[in-house]
Amino acid sequence: MTSTWLPWAIVALAVLLASIRLCQRPRPAPARLSALLLLQAVAAVLLCLALSPPPRSVRADTLVIATAGAREADVLAIPAATHLRLPEAPAMSRVAAVPDLATAMRQHPGTRELVIVGDGLTARDRDAPLPPALRFLANPAPAGLVELRAPPLLAPGARFEVGSRVHGLRDVRVELLDPAGHRVAITTPGSDGRVRLVASGREPGDVSFALRLLDADGKVRDQLPVPVRVRAVPPPSLRLLAGAPGPELKYLQRWAADTGASQQTSILVGGGVQLGDAPAALDAASLAKIDLLVLDERRLAALSPLQRNGVNAAMRAGLGVLVRMGGPLDAGARRALREWGLDTRGGQELRPLKFIDGAAGDGSAEPFALERFTLDVVGDDAVPLLRDAEGNAVGQWRALGLGRVGVLPVSDSYSLVLAGHAPQHAALWNQVLATLARPLPTTPSPELAGWGWAGERNVLCGLPAGAQAIAPDGARSALLADPQAGNCSGWWPTQAGWHTLAAGSAQATMLLLEPQQARALHATQQRDATLALRGTAGTAQAAIRVPGPRWPWLLAFVLVAALLWWLERRKPVVAAA
């Protein structure tokens, strides 16, 4: 209300001051003075009406907007006062083009209903003001890979999952290829069309895996790039304790060396003799310097009460502990595990164990045969450490203070290496390390989605002030902060590929996809986002009130002001004596 009456108050004050000035002139002619005062008041009223024209009632009409994939015949078949098309819509000889939806709404303020035809609105138009009613005549849902769930930031060697959904196709398979084009996982869609594939990260850096949809004949029907971002982390520190030498320990040491981890090894060979590195104390102060303690069931049973207390205190401060089983647990080992919160049952028999590539994935790949002890952990807080090819838990772990303790009943993981499956052996132990080891410090970086779209507006939140986007060609662009959206910024990238978001020493990367290279995924997202806008529409009205035209009032003000100027400066005619 204040903003509505403020111009009138200012103009009224100006008229009052001008009228006082006219009345103070020496001997003004009454008729001339009256005309000047009247014209000033009329000019003031006309000026206010030009600034805020009176509203008028207009008939509420229907506006039809053509988007990508719309056909001209379908657009013109809808009864409406106006038919327009957005830039991404195909060329139409009888439908005028507009640069965006906001422009179309400004040009047609009397719109009561908006009808959208085609694939839907892009991100550019989804924030435009909408009329009271909205209809979306969508094209059929596209066939292909219509979802992409990319992995978060990974540590080197970490296992990750890629998810998607297949729509509109039957008798298909979905495979995951690494950057070299080698298949690392393959599966068939479930009853809901969803798929989940498992692989492992490699060296630090940003790479693109490929998700491919194959029909029954092996022909590629759709393909999506999958961003995989692996970040270097400080190498972990391990201590390996064994009650006797063996191949499992040998290949565990080789895996630790390949990961760059620092390791201390101690092997009991009887008679108080130890092999490996110089013996180190098992107390809280010594264990505070390592990230994961790995010991077999013999070494666990040989721990003294003082050593068990030291390990317990170190775990509560963040240490990870793994008990690997090379044989059945005796009473001493079970007692130690019970003190750490793992109450075990069974574990006397060996049974076959099958793992899928990636150490517990899924799909149609041939599983790898191992052996496991039939050990179970009693308690609701026990969490599976691994899962076999059928999804059953293999080993369990639980939190203890800031640390974790787990037991792995696999006796022969080394056989994977002997069978030529060293990557699967590494993936298994990488998963164990990532689950149990003390959390490693990493360089802080913004939490961003793994991918977005090139050529469209992307919204980035949580970035530090002054963040910049660096394109693949090295070009830098500042991000436009949205003052009404909290700590979020708008970004309009034009290039596809890997982009870097930098703010000071913090950096993050993001893969931008070209919509034409992921048609089914892009069309589905656009379609779903437009369908979601229907809930924001109100009730259609037969007529609405809009501001009237300004030009008649402005023209009248100019004419009256010109007459006022002429009359004020015209000299009176003096009759001859």
Q: What is the pLDDT of residues 120-163, one digit of tens each?
A: 999 889 888 888 789 999 999 889 999 999 998 887 777 789 99
Domain final residue pick, 232, 255, 277:
232
CB 404 within 8 A of CB 315: yes
The verdict on residue 441 lying in a domain is no
Count Cβ atoms below 10 Å from residue 230 Cβ, excluding itself. 21
Virtual CA dihedral for 113, 117, 123, 129, nearest 10 degrees?
-10
- pLDDT of 528: 92
Question: How far is the C-alpha of 501 from the C-alpha of 376, rounded, in Å?
Answer: 47
Are 118 and 177 in the same domain? no
The verdict on residue 576 lying in a domain is no
How many whole angstroms from its chain centre is CA 419? 40
- pLDDT of 361: 38
- pLDDT of 441: 58
Are 177 and 211 in the same domain? yes
The verdict on residue 485 lying in a domain is yes
Question: How far is the C-alpha of 286 from the C-alpha of 279, rounded, in Å?
Answer: 11
Are 285 and 304 in the same domain? yes
- Give the 3-state secondary structure of residue 364: coil
Q: What distances in angstroms separate CA 324 from CA 296, 345, 395, 437, 438, one per listed residue?
A: 5, 16, 9, 14, 18
Are 263 and 396 in the same domain? yes
Instruction: Tell which residue, 15, 5, 98, has the closest CA to residue 52.
Output: 5
How many domains would you assign to the chain? Answer: 5
The verdict on residue 9 lying in a domain is yes
Question: How far is the C-alpha of 530 from the C-alpha of 524, rounded, in Å?
Answer: 10
Are 375 and 281 in the same domain? yes
Please tell me the total number of residues recorded for the chain in this structure. 577
Are 130 and 151 in the same domain? no
Q: What is the pTM of this model?
A: 0.67
Are 347 and 428 in the same domain? yes
The verdict on residue 363 lying in a domain is yes
Give the residues of the chain that fall short of pLDDT 50.
1-2, 58, 358-364, 443, 538-543, 573-577
Question: How far is the C-alpha of 250 from the C-alpha of 257, rounded, in Å?
Answer: 11
- pLDDT of 239: 94
Are 201 and 153 in the same domain? yes
Amino acid at 128: A
Are 228 and 269 in the same domain? no
Structural domain for 343, as ranges: 237-436
Are 158 and 125 in the same domain? no
Are 123 and 208 in the same domain? no
Checking 416-424 for CB contacts under 8 A at 24+ apart, the result is 416/368, 416/370, 417/251, 417/254, 419/368, 421/368, 423/200, 424/355, 424/357, 424/358, 424/359, 424/368
Are 302 and 325 in the same domain? yes
CB 432 within 8 A of CB 408: yes
The verdict on residue 446 lying in a domain is no
- pLDDT of 480: 79
Sequence-ordered list of residues with C-beta below 8 angstroms from that of 191, at least 6 positions apart, any chain: none
Query: What DSSP character marks residue 177?
Result: E
The verdict on residue 445 lying in a domain is no
The verdict on residue 519 lying in a domain is no
Tell me the CATH number at 466: 2.60.40.10
Tell me the CATH number at 275: 3.40.50
Token pair of 107 as six digits = 């040009």
- pLDDT of 547: 66
- Give the 3-state secondary structure of residue 394: strand
